[in-house]
Each structure stands twice: as C-alpha cells, then as structure tokens.
Amino acid sequence: SGHLVCMFDIGEEQLANAMKQVQKNLAKLEKNGLSRGILTAEQALSLISSTTSLDEALDGAIYVQESTMESLECKQNIFREMDRIAEPETILSSSTSTILPASHFTDGLLQR
C-alpha cells in the first residue's frame, strides 16, 4: 500500500523543485524495473504532498525525518518548533553526518 508523506520547506520554489525531482526519480525507478512494492510511480507520487506550513506538515504525523542544513543552530530551532507542534508520540528524527550526538540539538525539548 503506502504511506502519506508531506514535505515541508519555507520556500515554494524549493518544494516545487523537490516534487519534480521525486516524480522524475520514481518514473526512472519504474522504467528500469527497480520499483519495490505494489504501487506504480503515479500511485506513489499521489501519496506525497508538500507545504510551507510546519503545522500542516506535522498534523497527524507519526514519524518526522528532518533533513535541514548541517547547522547546529538551524537544527536546534527546527527541533524546538517540531517539539512544540508535533504530538508527544510523534517520532522526530534527523539526518546529520557531522553533528554528533543528536542530543546537541534535542536538549531541552519539552515532549521528547
């Protein structure tokens, strides 16, 4: 089946570019027989939405994958906002390769 996914960014242009890239990648995977699962590229794409509203992006989310720039201050700010908005049971995770451990940007969160 699949999962609903909502991409968030503060810039509409970045979101539009990201959606185009996702569409291109899904089509390429399908064309080359590398798709996994039972969904077509079109069906998978229909499960992906985008928004410039963090509140909207986190509404009903059970898992959040943050992938912002490698800036401690930026990650701290986004995690504070996500912690404030997301439900307490929502899993907040991060993609970081240079800031270790994650507690550097999750210290002081109220709900985690």
pLDDT tens string 53-99: 999 999 999 999 999 988 889 998 999 999 999 999 999 998 887 76
The answer to whether the beta carbons of residues 107 and 72 sit under 8 Å apart is no
Are residues 110 and 60 both part of a single domain? yes
| Residue 112, domain extent | 53-112
Integer Rg of the chain from CA: 16
Q: What is the pLDDT of residue 83?
A: 94
Domain count, the chain: 2
50: left (phi over 0), alpha (psi -120 to 50) or beta: beta
Same domain, 26 and 70: no
In sequence order, the 6+-apart residues with CB closer than 8 A to the CB of 9 are 15, 18, 50, 52
Same domain, 27 and 64: no
Quick one: pLDDT at residue 111? 66
Residue 12's pLDDT band (cuts 50, 70, 90) = very high
